[in-house]
Amino acid sequence: MSIVLGIESSCDETAAALVTDGRVILAQRIASQDEAHRPYGGVVPEIAARAHAERIAPLIEATLADAGMTLDQVDAIAATAGPGLIGGVMVGLVTAKALAMATDKPLIAVNHLEGHALSPRLADASLEYPYLLLLVSGGHCQILLVEGVGRFRRIGTTIDDALGEAFDKSAKVLGLGYPGGPALERLALQGDARKVPLPRPLKGSEEPHFSFAGLKSAVLRAKQSGEYADADIAASFQQAAIDCLIDRTRRALAKAGPVNALVVAGGVAANKAIRGALETLAEAHSLPFIAPPLALCTDNAAMIAWAGVERFERGQSDPLDVAARPRWPLDPEAETVRGAGVKA
Ligand code: KG4
Ligand code: ZN
């Protein structure tokens, strides 16, 4: 049996986990920084980096203690090496390097996106490559064909905002606080999705890309008009987002060729209405629909440890001078998509 220690620090979650090649999560801890960033309505990189630096060593100690283990019993040390807020990434990666050096264990530099992309295989042993992955979170919004470890084809991406970002910004417009995705979903339950006419950007277009900036602006205009109830705006926004997501994913399924499953990962996968719509789409294509448990969907270290396991099993590791990377696309061949700030 091999055991990998995983470390995650690329955004506002400091996390550590111990995962076996038998898909057992022996222990995992997550320290969220929501409170520290809430006054600013978004993640402040400098505050995040400092918080990671304060918490990471005790967090790793506590995770080892939870599993009743010492570092000697760990076979490899995996850490997120990007993409993400560089100050935080450096804290986690340098910690992993120090532990690898002190214990003479292999270091595995994990792409955070690969962590998300492979996490469904930690949850579900039956999931075989290739599968179509919808990766939707606050920072990511992509459709990927996952062909194997380190083998990804990006089928679609956002040309402006990520889906979680659109949820968060719309929630802010509605005064729901930060991070607003879950609160917006709750409010939408009380609203009528037919009440507010909102656009479906890029729906029906040939390439399965996304755009949410126009939708977000339309939410702002609807709120400012004073004509609609907040719950109706929330419900209408969520329905518009789902319509775009389903249309784009259907297009991506047609482009990707044969796959074994439709998989969703990333924080937005916590949204029940989105899960339900994707499940229906998968059924229509006679594909299994796989959504990892919520704790694996949002940022966590078990997914980093698992990506480490998959790489370790294939004999892969990285040198101690491996760099932290603020940008690190999973599919370097993918074309840059026309549009404003294209996300990693
Ligand atoms: O994966 P994650 O924890 O962090 C990254 O962004 O990488 O995802 C967090 C994002 C936030 O934008 C949050 O608002 C969104 O996922 N989110 C949701 C829901 N739960 C979390 N969006 C819509 N509905 C939800 N229930
Ligand atoms: Zn993430």
Q: Residue 38 belongs to a domain with what CATH number? A: 3.30.420.40
**Same domain for 157 and 85:** no
Q: Which ligand 1 atom is nearest residue 165's CA? A: 12
Can you give the pTM of this predicted structure? Answer: 0.91
pLDDT score of 233: 98
Gap from CA of 271 to ligand 1 centroid (Å): 8
**Same domain for 300 and 287:** no
The residue whose CA is least distant from atom 22 of ligand 1 is: 181
User: What's the mean pLDDT in 94-111?
Assistant: 98
Q: Please give, one letter per residue, the 3-state secondary structure of 154-212.
A: EEEEECCCCHHHHHHHHHHHCCCCCCCHHHHHHHHCCCCCCCCCCCCCCCCCCCCCECC
Instruction: Provide, rounded to the nearest whole percent, the portion of the chain with pLDDT above 90.
Output: 87
Rounding to the nearest 10 degrees, give the CA dihedral for residues 227, 232, 236, 242: 160
Say how many domains are in the chain: 2
pLDDT score of 339: 58
**Same domain for 176 and 285:** yes
User: What's the mean pLDDT in 305-322?
Assistant: 98
**Same domain for 153 and 286:** yes
For ligand 1, whether the C-beta of 168 sits within 6 Å is: yes
pLDDT score of 118: 95
The residue whose CA is least distant from atom 6 of ligand 1 is: 138
For residue 298, pLDDT over 90 is answered with: no
User: What's the mean pLDDT in 71-80?
Assistant: 98
**Number of other residues whose CB lies within 10 A of the CB of residue 42:** 14
Instruction: Provide, rounded to the nearest whole percent, the portion of the chain with pLDDT above 70.
Output: 98
- Poorest-confidence range of 30-34, 101-105, 199-203? 30-34
pLDDT digits (tens, 9 = 90+) for 37-59: 888 877 889 999 999 999 999 99
Contact 321, 297 (CB under 8 A): no
**Same domain for 83 and 39:** yes
**Same domain for 267 and 150:** yes
pLDDT score of 338: 64
User: What's the mean pLDDT in 188-217?
Assistant: 97
**Same domain for 108 and 134:** no
pLDDT digits (tens, 9 = 90+) for 118-132: 999 999 999 999 999
In a domain, 123, yes or no: no
pLDDT score of 230: 98
The span from the CA of 156 to the CA of 153, in Å, is 9
User: What's the mean pLDDT in 91-98?
Assistant: 98
At 342, the pLDDT band (50, 70, 90 cuts) reads very low
At 36, the pLDDT band (50, 70, 90 cuts) reads confident
Can you give the residue range of the structural domain that contains 195?
128-291
Q: Which ligand 1 atom is nearest residue 10's CA? A: 7
Q: What is the mean pLDDT of the chain?
A: 94
